[in-house]
Amino acid sequence: MTARRHVHVLFAGGTISMRINPGTGAAMPALSGEEIVAKVPALRKEARLAVEDYARLPGPQVTPHWMWRLKDRVAEILGDAGVDGVVVTHGTDTLEETAYLLDLTLDGDKPVVFCGAMRTVSEAGWDGPANLLAAVRTAVHPASAGRGVLVTVGEQVHAAAEATKAHTQRLDSFHSPHGALGVIDRGQVVYHRPAFRARPLAAPRLVSEVDLHTMAAGVDDALLRASLARGARGLVLEGTGCGNVPPAVLPALRAALAARVPVVLVSRCAEGRLAPAYGYEGGGRMLKEMGLIFAQELPGPKARIKLMVALGVSTDSAEVKRMFEEQAPGTTA
């Protein structure tokens, strides 16, 4: 008989650990990890569990430096030869950012799986137990090894490099532009395609002074200049279409590049790659020639996380550009 695998479940917070206060009607952190595990008896049939109450933090209260400390803790757990995989519960609002930071920085093939919930324990159809069970099943599945950090929500398995929260309320709220890696089908993990996995970035620290700006019709450069004035070490722009910006922001972009502040360009569109297709003022061709870094299919919040990590490796703009071009999903040779 095959021995059950050892999974360390790290409870970090989010809706999965919340209940609704009858007096206010608002959800608040309440449940411990052991209380949640006790509501899912099937968990201990799937694996030998170690349960850790790491935090009860709502997703919007997560910070990049908190993510970095979580990464260090997960790396410590993975270093235990007796641990076969790690599951992390997390608030879904920022789960994709934390999972991606770990995907960028953790080395090794042991599965790390994030999960969360869209409903609290007080609501009918609380999805926390199903998502947690799916995460543990994913963590113990042999085919999960070497796929990078994974996300399981709504009976789907996503790559952390691709997953984004695409709906405010649906139980299957996470989406990947090229589809999920796999599904949980009647309790079985079934993979449909391989995962894109970049080489981990060996960053000794995190540079968190990176600002994210979304472009829209008629936007000027006032907010970009404010970012530079307050000491931003990097900028991420969500451009329109396949990578374009209003002409009024160009002076601030030139000032940033002259000051050796890396500027990363993504699209505000939900899907699609960037392309230096337009030669007009503010068009992608001009931005490419100016020296903006094209992050291809990465959404803005993830590009921001990646720039923080990349700056922790090197503050040289050319080296940062190389890290983005070599590591980005959607990049072609």
- The whole-angstrom distance between residue 57's C-alpha and the CA centroid of its chain comes to 16
Of the candidates 15, 105, 152, 240, the residue annotated as catalytic is 15
Cβ-based burial of 268 (10 A; exposed 0-12, middle 13-18, buried ≥19): middle
2 flagged as catalytic? no
Q: How many CA atoms lie within 13 A of 68 on its CB side?
A: 15
Residues 6+ apart with CB under 8 A from 184: 134, 137, 138, 152, 155, 156, 157, 190
State the DSSP H helix or E strand holding residue 303, giving kind and residue range, or none if neither.
Answer: helix 300-313
Question: In angstroms, what CA-CA distances link 298 with 23, 143, 177, 234?
Answer: 42, 25, 10, 16
Tokens for 284, please give them: 């992608």
Question: In angstroms, what CA-CA distances link 64 with 79, 82, 149, 223, 288?
Answer: 23, 29, 17, 21, 28
**How far is the C-alpha of 21 from the C-alpha of 128, rounded, in Å?**
18
Cβ-based burial of 15 (10 A; exposed 0-12, middle 13-18, buried ≥19): buried
Active site residues: 15
